[in-house]
Amino acid sequence: MTRFIMLTLLMSNLFSQTQVVLEEVMFMDAPYVGEIKTTTQKFASKDFFRQESSLKVDRFIIRMAMGGNKKYGTILDGNSESRIIYDAEENKYAFESFDLIRDNNGKPTLKGMEENMNFGGGSNRRDNNEEETSDDNDKDDESEEDVENSIERTITDETKVIAGLKAKKVITSIKSSERTVLFEEWFTTDTLLIKFALDKEQELIESYGGTKTNMPRSFSESMLSQSGQAYDSVEGRLLKYSMQMKNEDNKGFKMEWELKKIEEIPFNSEDFEVTKKYKKVEKLD
């Protein structure tokens, strides 16, 4: 307990005059949808968190259906207890206080990046009934396939440096009569900066009564857990992964994610402010 308190104080002092900056890139290629690329930058400091994501859709029809390519951002200010969302393409922003969100049961009233791109809820949580229904359906689907699943998992000795951090490679293959899913994941145990950024976002969201749902620590382990399969786990956090899913006709989709950059730099208040040229509006379209 004493060690935990000392570590918490150390991290608080360490990041009081600095900030963590990271960049993530996600790529998806799916039948009929085509290629979609999302680039996300995150900034975290003692009392602030900012996330800015840009979406680029390759196919014209899909791009128009999703409202075009987008660049949205969210700023959480713990000092003023405010949440700001902005549209970097339209040069507009909207504001709401943490008190207003608290009065709305922890659910932001303004739509951010996730809602505008149909990536999830503004408070990063699902309705309990929806979650339970989804889980039950997943379990039903999985129970039918468990018997036929063939699993191969290799925790390799191969390492490489990703975003300045040393990572270890893990390969997982899950095969059934209908499809094959292949995961390649890279984990690091050098997690101090990653943990700070994730914890700061969660802390600010919880301060207005919201609940943050992070990306799974491992997509392969998440799938194996849901299917009830035994597996060897890996320490640390994910830095890179790829997933390929193919059906019996050798058709399917591919998804990749990678942490491209993470660093600690001197605190810059401008990274947590809306650009002055942006126009304030009641809400974003």
Between residues 130 and 74, the one the model is more confident about: 74
CA 254 to chain CA mean position, Å? 17
Q: CA 170, CA 150: separation in Å to the nearest integer? A: 17
Reported as a single tens digit per residue, the pLDDT across 7-35 is 555 555 555 689 999 999 999 998 888 89
Mean pLDDT on 142-171: 84
pTM exceeds 0.85 for this model? no
Share of the chain above pLDDT 90, in %: 59
Is the confidence at residue 147, as pLDDT, over 90? no
What tens digit of pLDDT does each residue of 108-119 get? Answer: 999 876 654 443
Tokens of 250: 């050798």
Are the beta carbons of 28 and 254 closer than 8 angstroms?
Answer: yes
Say if residue 122's pLDDT is above 50: no
> So what's the pLDDT on residue 124?
38
Angle at 244 between CA 198 and CA 242, to 5 degrees: 35
Structure-block tokens of residue 37? 């690329």
Q: Where are the alpha helices (DSSP H) in the chain?
A: 2-14, 60-65, 98-103, 113-116, 128-145, 192-207, 219-226
User: Which residue did the predictor score with more confidence, 128 or 97?
Assistant: 97
Average pLDDT, the chain: 84
Lowest mean pLDDT among 92-106, 162-176, 243-257: 243-257
Over residues 184-212, the pLDDT tens digits come to: 999 999 999 999 999 999 999 999 999 98
**How does residue 65 score in pLDDT terms, banded at 50, 70 and 90?**
confident
The C-alpha atoms of residue 21 and residue 266 are separated, in whole angstroms, by 10
Average pLDDT over residues 57-73: 85
Mean pLDDT score, 221-227:
86
CA distance 161 to 26: 19
Under 8 Å CB-to-CB from 129, ≥6 apart: which residues? none
Are residues 42 and 17 in contact, defined by beta-carbon separation less than 8 angstroms? no
Taking alpha carbons only, the member of 47, 19, 51, 21 closest to residue 38 is 51
> pLDDT confidence of 155, banded at 50, 70, 90?
very high
Please calculate the CA angle 74-75-77 and round it to the nearest 5 degrees: 155
Q: What value does the CA radius of gyration of the chain take, rounded to a whole number of Å? A: 20
Average pLDDT for residues 48-66, to the nearest whole number? 89
